[in-house]
Amino acid sequence: MLLKELSALASPLNDQQIGQLQQAVAELSPQQLAWISGYFWGLSQTPATAGSNPQPLAQAVATAAKPAGKLTIIYASQTGNAKGVAEALEAKAKADGVAVSLYSADDYKPRDLAKETHLIIVASTNGEGEPPDNAISLHEFLQSKKAPKLDKLQYAVIGLGDSSYEFFCQTGKDFDAFLSKQGAKAILPRVDCDVDYDAEAESWSADVLGKVKDTLVGEADEVVVPLHAATSAGAASAYSKQNPYAAELVANQKITGRDSGKDVRHIEIDLGESGLTYQPGDALGVYYTNSPELADEILAKVGLTGDESVEVAGESISLRQALIEKFEITASNPQQVAAIAELSGSKKLQKLAEDKDKLRQYANNTQVVDVLSEKKTKLTAEQLAGLLRKLTPRLYSIASSQEEVGEEVHLTVGLVEFQHGENTRLGGASSFLSQRAEDAASVKVFIEHNNNFKLPADNNTPVIMVGPGTGIAPFRAFMQERDARGADGKNWLFFGDRTFTQDFLYQVEWQKFLKDGLLTKIDLAFSRDQAEKVYVQHKIVEQGKEVWQWLQDGAYFYICGDATYMAKDVHEALITVAQEHGGKSREDAENYLNELRKAKRYQKDVY
């Protein structure tokens, strides 16, 4: 009998009791329902004490099992990867009957740590080893004198990062150290995952949840019944990173001039009837295939034909197909270079492997095929496959608002192109979108929501945007969105590139925004249009008095683009502005900007 049929039949329960029962069992598994039925039968065999009130149904179910605590999962996420792992952990915990609560780090009250019994932190790392914006307060709290003793807490930490960067998984390492220092006991050793993290994160999640379940439940035959476990906001989309949508590329237009030293494309992709939705500030994940010519060049370097079979994710396919569709064959990484050094015996690579900084710099600037070229070495198919990472999707800042473009999504893609000796090397995803995607049957995509890069909810709030080069992309979306909202807040853009005539991306659109009054101010920095190079950070200092006034009026400040140099230089420019026009010391200026970040008034989307 279904619960919804109870009210239509003769029943010993009144409507209120039926409602309580429906609410209580709504999220239970078949195993849990079977256990509950036995528990209720046992209750029915126990005579009620005269004059006593029967336990409400929801309360009876909730007290059926008595766990030794509950599990809390906190994610520190900048672009959404850590959030995705945390949500998968939450789903697995619920399926296992574990009472669980899921929090974004900025929604969690740090003082509640003292009340926790079991904690899992999923942490990505931002910039130069910094915590993601949503985790700044928690990170600071655990370093402060306010951090409580946590000797009753059992915890686990998983870090997500990219080993190409110096401070690999630093935020995860920090949280692990902070919790341990306060007396918390690790359920499992911390795991630091590289860009190809899916399999490792899934395996670790299964292990840690097994340990958590063992310690949370006192007896093996008891089942925890989570009546009020936290649930994720909103229903999951039919399409995701794990199930991307096969979309059609409908436009590919070069938007740099004929004589520009850059090839930047405006890409339009039709989301069709996918039901995918996004907000300005979100990113589009793009799965791509590698250049067949590059795959052939790599095969020739190591003496293989490509017809050899390899196993990838349980599937046996030809090595050439795997290089094109399954493996990352453009960007190299430090571990890979060190492994090639050992296999090849290259003295140059072995010397690089002894210096972490030089190794990282070399890997960041040398593609896989050119690392293999350092010393001719024959490899087996298994050896070559063992050197390569799994191909992962690239994330691109979305350059459109759905209020403006409907079921489309727009991107601003700069073709990665450089010379290595006599060879021209191209980026994997950027060359696919620029040169090969139109010939493909489809482009597999998904939306990566980014809650750390969003327009203010108040349409009257002023906005300052700094987006040189392809960093302009999300700000085009911001303007389309503010236009659609009828927002009255002022908007100020700082844009820079090489030359005005060749590299002013979306020039006509920005001039129209300015003419229509939607864009209040625009400051341009074209580095090669005069003898002395001028960049966006110089313009910010030059306009420092007005920038400071906008900030005092509540403006939000956004940066999008290069993390290595530009974002740091713009940050320094803001420090200078706070010192010169706010009368602050260096330390006070840093603290001021940190407070802006916590208030989500200073946001970055950098790469």
182 and 161 part of one domain: yes
User: Three-state SS for 420?
Assistant: strand
Q: Is residue 585 part of a domain?
A: yes
Is 226 within the bounds of a domain? no
Residue stretches of the annotated binding site for FAD: 330, 364, 394-397, 412-414, 427-430, 607
What residues form the annotated binding site? 77-82, 124-127, 160-169, 330, 364, 394-397, 412-414, 427-430, 527-528, 533-537, 569, 607
* Distance between start and end Cα atoms, the chain: 56
**Domain check: are 442 and 540 in the same one?**
no
Instruction: Please report the pLDDT score of residue 40 as a whole number.
Output: 54
**pLDDT at residue 589, as a whole number:** 98
Calculate ∠ Cα 142-111-216, nearest 5°: 95
Spatial separation of the C-alpha atoms in residues 446 and 448, rounded to whole Å: 7
Same domain for 257 and 144, yes or no, is no
For residue 32, being part of any structural domain is answered with no
User: Which pLDDT score, from 0 to 100, does residue 446 have?
Assistant: 97
CATH number of residue 118's parent domain:
3.40.50.360
Binding positions for FMN are 77-82, 124-127, 160-169
Residues that constitute the known binding site for NADP(+): 527-528, 533-537, 569
Q: Answer yes or no: are the C-beta atoms of 466 and 563 closer than 8 Å.
A: no
> Same domain for 322 and 182?
no
Antiparallel, parallel or unpaired: β 118-124 and 315-318? unpaired
| One-character DSSP codes across 313-325 | TTEEEEHHHHHHH
Residues 398 and 434 in one domain: yes
* CB 448, CB 283: distance < 8 Å: yes
Q: Tokens 């709504």 sit at which residue?
A: 26
328 and 422 in a single domain? The answer is no
Side-chain-side CA neighbours of 436 within 13 Å: the count stands at: 15
Same domain (yes/no): 143, 281:
no
CATH number at residue 298: 1.20.990.10
Q: How far apart are CA 311 and CA 324, in angstroms?
A: 14
Structural domain including 443 reads: 245-288+393-448
Residue type, 213: K
Do the domain assignments include residue 28? no
User: Given this model, what pLDDT does residue 166 score?
Assistant: 84
**Angle 131-135-139 (CA atoms, 0-180°, nearest 5)?**
75
Q: What's the pLDDT at 351?
A: 95
Domain boundary among 346, 370, 387: 387
Q: Are residues 252 and 337 in the same domain?
A: no
DSSP 476: H
Is residue 490 within 8 Å of residue 461, measured between CB atoms? no
Q: Is residue 11 part of a domain?
A: no
pLDDT at position 276, please? Answer: 96
CA–CA separation, 291 vs 426, rounded Å?
9
Report the chain (607 residues): mean pLDDT per 10 consecutive residues: 43 55 54 50 45 46 54 92 93 91 93 93 89 92 92 95 88 96 95 91 94 69 37 57 94 96 97 95 97 97 97 94 97 95 96 93 95 96 96 96 95 96 94 92 94 95 98 98 96 98 97 97 97 97 98 98 94 98 97 95 94
In three-state secondary structure terms, 411 is strand
Q: Is 31 helix (H, G, I), strand (E, B) or coil?
A: helix
The answer as to whether 98 is a domain residue is yes
**Same structural domain, 148 and 250:** no
Residue 19 DSSP SS3: helix
In angstroms, the CA 22 to CA 26 distance is 6
Name the pairing type of β-strands 602-606 and 556-561. Answer: parallel
Q: Does any domain span residue 61?
A: no
Q: Which of 387, 420, 439 is the last residue of a domain?
A: 387
Residues 262 and 399 in one domain: yes
* 30 in a structural domain: no
Half-sphere exposure of 318 (CA within 13 A, CB side): 10
Q: Cβ(179)–Cβ(114) under 8 Å?
A: no
Q: What total of structural domains would you count in the chain?
A: 4
* DSSP letters spanning 283-310: EEEEE----HHHHHHHHHHTT--S-SEE
136 and 268 inside one domain: no
Indicate the SS3 state at residue 311.
Answer: strand
* CATH code of 251's domain: 2.40.30.10
- Structure confidence at residue 163 (pLDDT): 85
Amino acid at 402: Q
- From 369, 387, 405, the end of a domain falls on 387
Q: Tokens 């952990």 correspond to what residue?
A: 89
The CATH code of the domain that includes 474 is 3.40.50.80
- CA 7 to CA 555: how far, in whole Å? 56
Q: E strands, 343-407, where?
A: 394-397
Q: For residues 67 and 64, what is the distance between their CA atoms, to the nearest angstrom?
A: 10
Give yes or no: residues 310 and 212 share one domain.
Answer: no
